[in-house]
Amino acid sequence: MKVVLEEDAKQDLRESFHFYEENETGAGWYFLEKIQEEIRSLGQIGGIHRKRHGFHFYASRRFPHGVFYQVEHDTVKIAAILDSRRHPSLLQDILRTR
């Protein structure tokens, strides 16, 4: 399957990159490298994850982030990449707009 990042998901990645990079130089780049590997894997395993807030939810293995996505035909559409430590109601509010 093809994997597509929606604009909001790209913004989520930028925000997380800056968060990690501000805390430690190079950590933002490490985050992007590893999370992109996991995102690419959704091209093969997309759709097997349970749903949360109306989206399939993939939990990152290396970071406290979740990837929220939909599968449409032969495409995995990533709507959000959010820090899973946020309060569930805040996550739900964010996802309602996506």
Give, for all 98 residues of the chain, the pLDDT tens digit: 999 999 999 999 999 999 999 999 999 999 999 999 999 999 999 999 999 999 999 999 999 999 999 999 999 999 999 999 999 999 999 999 99
What pLDDT score does 90 carry?
Answer: 94
Pick the closest to residue 58 from 74, 75, 35 (CA basis).
35
Q: How is residue 1 annotated by DSSP?
A: -
Whether 2 and 42 have beta carbons less than 8 Å apart is answered as: no
Residues 22-48: tens digit of each pLDDT: 999 999 999 999 999 999 999 999 999
Q: Cα dihedral sign for 41, 84, 68, 23?
A: negative
Backbone φ, ψ for residue 74 (5° rounding): -110, 30
Sorted by where each begins, the domain ranges of the chain are 2-96
Q: Is 75 exposed, middle or buried (0-12, 13-18, 19+ CB in 10 A)?
A: middle
Which CATH fold topology does 2-96 show? YaeB-like fold (3.30.2310)
- The pTM score is 0.93
Query: Which H or E run includes 55?
Result: strand 55-59
What pLDDT score does 15 carry?
Answer: 97
